[in-house]
Amino acid sequence: MSTKDLEASMRKSVEATQRNFNTIRTGRANSSLLDRISVEYYGADTPLKSLATLSTPDSQTIQIQPFDISALGSIEKAIAMSELGFTPNNDGKVIRINVPPLTEERRKEFCKLASKYAEEGKVALRNLRRDAIDKIKKQEKDGDFSEDQSRDEQDVVQKTLDQFIAELEKHLVQKEADILKV
């Protein structure tokens, strides 16, 4: 695995962690909060974004306009069953979710969740490092690299990992600041 391939894989891992961060509530309504919700639609789990238009008419409301009105009940049920703690209001045509202000306790829970997502991202990065180092060691064993070249390559992989973990930490600090901001 070349350094560019490793960096691209690590970048994707950091971006996936950022997408997870986006599903965590901060103080205001954001349609990305519903990104992880999938709805039982004609026997298949379907992402909510594929079934409806999501919008935020104001800072405290998320509005869901389904493409198929018959899916309204399933969408409402999926939102109510999610770990987000929202109560959907169905008026027969659209679903509105009132996003209440966060309590201090809820903010701390969301910070813990963000930390959990960051740790999952770090584990993914470390797995990429392990795979890269295993490849380097195999190349050394096969005679493609000398011992010194192998050590140098492993150092490059470690430095790349350190760089991406620092970036992930920076995103975590930013997300926690957003969550805790009243």
Domain termination site, one of 48, 83, 98: 98
Question: Which CATH number goes with the domain that contains 115?
Answer: 1.10.132.20
Cβ–Cβ under 8 Å, residues 36 and 48: no
pTM (2 d.p.): 0.73
Please tell me whether residues 111 and 169 are part of one structural domain: yes
The number of beta carbons lying within 10 Å of the beta carbon of residue 2 is 8
Question: Which CATH number goes with the domain that contains 64?
Answer: 3.30.1360.40
Domain termination site, one of 63, 98, 133: 98
Phi, psi at 160, each rounded to 5°: -65, -45
pLDDT band at residue 1 under the 50/70/90 scheme: low
| Percent of the chain whose pLDDT exceeds 70 | 98
Q: What is the mean pLDDT of residues 11-26?
A: 86
Count how many domains the chain has: 2
Consecutive H or E run containing 141: helix 104-142
pLDDT digits (tens, 9 = 90+) for 38-92: 888 888 888 988 889 888 888 788 898 999 888 888 888 888 888 777 888 888 8
- 29: pLDDT strictly greater than 80: no
Please tell me whether residues 121 and 166 are part of one structural domain: yes
Tell me which residue range forms the domain holding 87.
28-98
